[in-house]
Amino acid sequence: MILAATATNESLAQLSDLLIYSSMAVYTLAFFAHIAEWVFGSRSKVGRTAAALTSAPKAAPAAGVTVKVKQAGGTAVLDKPKVVTRSAAGTRDVPDGPGAAGGTVKGDLYGRIAISLTVLAFAIEAAGVVSRALSVQRAPWGNMYEFSTTFSTVAVGAYLGFLVAKKNVRWIGLPLVTTVLLDLGMAVTWLKTPSDQLVPALDSYWLWIHVSTAIFCGAVFYIGAVATLLYLFRDSYENKLATGGNPGSFARSVMERLPSAASLDKFSYRVNAAVFPLWTFTIIAGAIWAGDAWGRYWGWDAKEVWSFITWVGYAAYLHARATAGWKGRKAAYIALIAFACFLFNYYGVNIFVSSKHSYAGV
């Protein structure tokens, strides 16, 4: 199915550019608010992980256990013990940190301001993406500039979705906003492409299906990669405490506000596992589109090869997680390698490798 080309609406195209630049300004304010959240939050000494790892082990009753004591016919009930998370290796139990603000009033205030600004920036950027689509009456991801702006919008949307679902993901806010600013800065500086119609090979309804799923998968893979990277830092921190080490005050103030290594490891695994089937569908949809556009389903084009390499990387990660000897840090390294393959598939192949997918332009 080939869609009819329409003229470009320059007013909407200019509005889209203005909205993207405006969202960058608001994201910058959100970045500084996140910094303030961590700075003011770090003024409180949490020390929950250190206390959990250095205190003498005590037997804890199971949750909901009632202990009856024969004393004047009375009954004593033990309080429900504090729930902590077991690490991937099963060697330690530590509590989650309270989040970026660290429980301080001022830190939490700046955190709420940061989230509010992030929501505002997301709405402005999403309006910019929609304006770009309306300016040419097509999907707003026909080149690298449009892919980048849409990708960052979806990534922030996924983060806000986790917040709405009451998930403890405020710790993603600072790295997310930082990455979005870098992504948009690169888009408007080096990848900027005038709003225009598509080449015939891209002018298909498969553009809506294949590329949209690729963008969504990449955004969720990104969140999983952030969690995996922070897991490695947090796991090293917990290991240092468990072996009697003394981390610096900065490392302690930051690491104590993250979830435990076990929680980060579990979160990244669930995120990657949930989106992996959709990435599989993305590759299949791309093959079907290739059959319609080029008369063959698979031709070992560079984009096809690296999409498959990315699939193999995440498949290896999920397999490693299902194998007892490859949980924890080893599996985390595989996940980061898989995400690096995704990034190269997008930036490296599009910029440095000549392939059938090069027609999309920069």
List, for residues 24-35, the tens digit of each pLDDT value. Answer: 999 999 999 999
pLDDT tens track for 322-337 = 886 677 899 999 999 9
What are the phi and psi torsion angles at 297 (to 5°)?
Answer: -85, -30
Tell me the two tokens of residue 3.
């869609």
Q: What is the CA radius of gyration of the chain?
A: 24
> Does a structural domain hold residue 41?
yes
Q: Between residues 39 and 64, which one has the greater pLDDT?
A: 39
Percent pLDDT > 70 in the chain is 81
Estimate to the nearest angstrom the gap between the alpha carbon of 315 and the chain centroid.
18
Q: H helices of 295-348, where? A: 302-321, 329-343
Query: 98 in a domain, yes or no?
Result: yes
Residue 1 within any structural domain of the chain: no
Q: How many domains does the chain have?
A: 1
Residue 63 maps to a domain? no
Residue type, 135: S
What pLDDT is recorded for position 128? Answer: 97
Residues 182-228 pLDDT 10s: 999 999 999 988 887 777 767 788 999 999 999 999 999 999 999 99
In a domain, 197, yes or no: yes
Cα 3 from Cα 204, distance rounded (Å):
6
Which domain range does residue 162 map to? Answer: 10-55+69-360
Burial pattern 72-89, b for ≥16 Cβ within 10 A else e, equals eeeeeeeeeeeebbebbe
pLDDT digits (tens, 9 = 90+) for 114-163: 999 999 999 999 999 999 999 989 999 988 999 999 999 999 999 999 99
Read off the amino acid at residue 149: T
On whether residue 100 sits in a domain, the answer given is yes
For residue 86, the SS3 value is: strand
Task: Give domain status of residue 3, yes or no.
Answer: no
